[in-house]
Amino acid sequence: MTPDLFADQPIEVTTERLSEGAIVLRHFASAQAPDLLSEIEHITTVAPLRHMKTPGGHSMSVAMSCCGCWGWITDAKGYRYQAEDPCSGAPWPIMPPVFASLARSAALAAGYGDFTPNACLINRYEPGAKMGLHQDKNEQDFSQPVVSVSLGLSQVFQFGGLTRSARPKNIPLAHGDVVVWGGPSRLRYHGVLTLKAGAHPLTGACRYNLTFRCAR
């Protein structure tokens, strides 16, 4: 039997600066990934992943759920945060401590010392799913950053400027990578390109993204 020389080695975190206030923390969530995925499993049995409709009536290709005090939703009435899951009328599942502590420590590593996320959006991308360039601007306080965790298949993240027309950087994000953007970059446009088919040992044919924000 060949011993796995690296089985007990901690995974090294490396960083890539994207812009003032924005950074990629490679592998930051790798160690917690199995726990994060089992929490996603619990949350989505209570608040199932669903394809929400944009205000324009289009069904989103990404399937979404939420946890925490506030959940981000979209429907004919617009984009907003709501304390209850519109599918059940019940409050969103609580944010698991492992989610909150990971988000806080990633924010700290990016230079944001006092992040208190109260909203977590859970995105599930299957092959063919994407998210066009947009700003995260439904939150009341832009002094708090956005923390975004990638799990499973790799997908190309686009990080643009403060206007839609600025040419975005394309950054492949792999399992365990975390992106944090805040300060002067808080309202930068971002999105993900179409997910290509693949297989990941922990998530199978999909990618999950957890996006943490302070909604109010």
Sites of contact with Fe ion (CB under 5 A): 136
User: Considering beta carbons, is residue 185 or 211 the nearer one to ligand SIN?
Assistant: 211
- Identify what 123 binds: Fe ion, ligand SIN, none; CB under 5 to 8 Å per kind: ligand SIN
Q: Which of 152, 155, 126 is nearest to 61 (CA)?
A: 126
Check binding of 65 to ligand SIN (CB under 6 A): no
Chain positions 2 to 41 lying near ligand SIN, rule: CB under 6 A, are none
Neighbours of 132 (CB within 10 A): 13
Neighbours of 88 (CB within 10 A): 11
Question: Which helix (H) or strand (E) covers residue 46, if one does?
Answer: helix 33-46
Provide the minimum distance between the beta carbon of 77 and Fe ion in the complex, in angstroms, as a whole number.
19
Provide the minimum distance between the beta carbon of 128 and ligand SIN in the complex, in angstroms, as a whole number.
14
Check binding of 52 to ligand SIN (CB under 6 A): no
From 102, 122, 147, 192, residue interacting with ligand SIN (rule: CB under 6 A): 192
Check binding of 203 to ligand SIN (CB under 6 A): no
Chain positions 86 to 125 lying near ligand SIN, rule: CB under 6 A, are 121, 123
How far, in whole angstroms, is CA 145 from its chain's centroid? 12
Q: What is the per-residue DSSP string for 62-103?
A: SEEEEEESBEEEEETTEEEEESB-TTTSSBPPPPPHHHHHHH
Check binding of 148 to ligand SIN (CB under 6 A): yes
